[in-house]
Structure 1
Amino acid sequence: MTPEPAPRPQPGRTPPRVPPLSRTTVAEAALRLLNETGLEKLTLRAIAAELDVKAPALYWHFKNKQELIDEMATEMYRRMARDEPQQPAGWREMLLAANRGLRRALLSYRDGARVFSGSRFTGADHAEQQEAHLRALLEAGFELPQAVRTLTTTFMYTLGFVTEEQGVHPVAGERREGYDVSERSERLADYPAAAAAGSHLFEDYDAHFEEGLELILAGVAARYGIS
């Protein structure tokens, strides 16, 4: 039997370009799927299907899901660093801008804070920004241990805040069942202070975040005697 000839490419049509498989392309595909599935349902099989490869091909780049999550967090960081404006003058302004930017970056992905939490950045992508932040604090009069504590405390506040925020709103604009403020008030009617607290806990996250960050910075200034 004579084999059928291969179809000729259509004039003026360029075949789609499939990027070579790498740690970065796999992480980028995983981040695309993250907003659709959430972290719990993000599987290597689904990522392989997104890339049109067999799942075992991914194991050439990642030994397990945690390694993939580390690379996803690193790619999130790279994008955040590219979008970060010029570092403002003043240690308070620098920390406000850095943590506002971190919150925006985490909220731009479903379960973004969970991806970041406990992940280890691959390579040294974060070192330049960390060096700049530490130097700004040192120049403002902090000692190195104080600068480290200040950076990690504000970072962990932001990470924890967004983790809770995304727990209540797993998908942007949608509130998880059980977090309706009026329903909560009725359920806690015998505890009036706790019932009234709901509107402060689960509403206006922007103002809540800003005030909490300002409280930390005021505590840092008072603790270390730096204005």
Structure 2
Amino acid sequence: MQHTLDSESLALQTLSSLSARLSRIEHALVGHPLTHPSTTSTPLSLHAAKINHRDHSIRARLSALEAALSRLASHSKPVHDLLLLHASIPEIFTDVLPTTHPPPQGSLTLDEKAAVVLSSASHVQSVASQLVSLRDIPVPDVDTSVKLVELGDRLDKLTVLQEMQGREMGELRRRSLKVLERWYEVSVEGVNECFAEWDERVRGCERVVGRKLHEEETEN
């Protein structure tokens, strides 16, 4: 029972924190609180924050927060684009923390540690300037990021089309090879066989004519 109460309290605290964050985002992007659809004076984020009594279920508070976020997305294009980007590629919004290992105890003496720090001191200024230059790099426009994400489907379709064209080109090469083989058999080898046959027939005619001439000379 105590574990259930602790879990419920943790969920309520999380929802309260989310409501406060949503209120700050709403103020930063819109500049004025968005009113709840059923009223004209209660901001959506505050409406969600007021549902914090234990008589209200966690599901109701979560639904109120989702409604407030949807309302904010309908009034703010950056929020709308970010939600679309989150729906398309949710993994880019996940924090991946590297696994850290505790440093070994007693591996270096104090003098050795000081030597390492002093040897790297010359790189501090260059690294700091690089970090400053990275900070000055402008963040890409949200519209550009959304357009790049939308191009993913077109690139996938183009990849499939390229594979189909590759298979068609392979089939055309195979058929062209067969046509070339047939042409060689008919046009080259066939002509050679025809010439060989004609040459044999001409030689036969020459032998017959020579024999006739020899017989005529013998009779005379």
- So what's the TM-score if we normalise by structure 1? 0.26
- So what's the TM-score if we normalise by structure 2? 0.27
Q: Which has the larger radius of gyration?
A: 2
